[in-house]
């Protein structure tokens, strides 16, 4: 069977959705035996999707910095089907809570006023992505082909969507698999 190459990455998220991918357990092996090749993912520790491209790209997390925008756009360019996974990538999710505050308030609260912080300061290193004025859902930045909401989505939901794609069917979640929390 022809290989289906899959890459994934995370943006402003908690890695919970990738935990759910791993939570597919033996079904991961089943997918690999069915021809899925895990290319660049946080699990395989390759930093970005290969230049020659992949079939399926999966992104977890909201778009919150200019780095995230770059990662999202690169993934979009290098994959045929882009899946937003988890509430943050799909809707903006919990990270959009910060949209109700100004960036100054946000940084001060996060780096200086946190109860556990002593002598905190706001980092300014050029390595760190610049916060966008608002955290956004993935489809606010790039075109998204399929959505797997959930916080995190269940392993069942992810398996269902990937299996459907492999079989050439619609990956849209139905029934109990569609969850917002």
Interacting stretch for another protein, rule CB under 8 A, among 21-29, 40-48, 116-124, 147-155? Answer: 147-155
139 is an interface residue for another protein by CB under 8 A = yes
CB of 102 to another protein, least distance (A): 11
Cα distances (Å, whole numbers) of residue 8 to 74, 75, 78, 131:
11, 8, 11, 22
Q: What is the residue-wise DSSP string for 71-117?
A: HHHHHHHHEEEEEEEHHHHHH-GGGGGGGGS-HHHHHIIIIIS-TT-
Q: Which residues, listed in sequence order, are joined to residue 56 by a DSSP beta bridge?
A: 6, 81
How far apart are the C-alpha atoms of 92 and 87, rounded to whole Å?
A: 6
Q: How far is the CB of 59 from another protein (least distance, A)?
A: 13
Instruction: Name which of 6 and 137 has its Cβ closer to another protein.
Output: 137
Site for another protein contains 24 (CB under 8 A): no
Q: Does 71 bind another protein (CB under 8 A)?
A: no
Of residues 111 and 180, the one with the C-beta less far from another protein:
180
Among 6, 132, 144, 158, binds another protein (CB under 8 A): 144
* List 99, 108, 163, 166, residue binding another protein (CB under 8 A): 99
Question: Which class for 47: exposed (0-12), middle (13-18), buried (19 or more C-beta within 10 A)?
Answer: exposed
- Please, what sign has the CA dihedral across residues 152, 61, 166, 173? positive
Instruction: Let me know how long the chain is.
Output: 181
Identify the helix (H) or strand (E) that includes residue 54.
strand 54-60
93 binds another protein per the rule CB under 8 A = yes
Interface residue with another protein among 7, 11, 63, 151 (CB under 8 A) is 151
Interaction site with another protein (CB under 8 A): 84, 87, 90-94, 96-97, 99-100, 134, 136-137, 139-140, 144, 147-149, 151, 172-174, 178-181
């Amino acid at each position: 069977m022809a290989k289906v190459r899959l890459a994934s990455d995370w943006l402003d998220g908690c890695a919970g959705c990738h935990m759910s991918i791993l939570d597919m357990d033996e079904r991961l092996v089943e997918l690999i035996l069915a021809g899925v090749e895990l290319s660049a993912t946080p699990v395989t520790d390759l930093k970005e999707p290969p230049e020659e491209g992949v079939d399926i790209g999966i992104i977890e997390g909201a778009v919150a910095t200019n780095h995230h925008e770059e990662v999202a756009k690169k993934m979009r360019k290098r994959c045929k089907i882009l899946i937003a996974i988890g509430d943050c990538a799909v809707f903006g999710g919990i990270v959009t809570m910060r949209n109700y505050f100004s960036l100054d308030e946000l940084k001060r609260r996060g780096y200086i006023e946190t109860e556990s912080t002593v002598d905190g300061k706001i980092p300014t290193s050029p390595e760190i992505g610049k916060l966008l004025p608002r955290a956004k859902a993935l489809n606010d930045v790039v075109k998204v082909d399929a959505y797997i909401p959930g916080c995190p989505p269940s392993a069942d939901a992810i398996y269902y969507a990937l299996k459907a794609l492999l079989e050439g069917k619609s990956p849209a979640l139905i029934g109990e698999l569609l969850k917002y929390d």
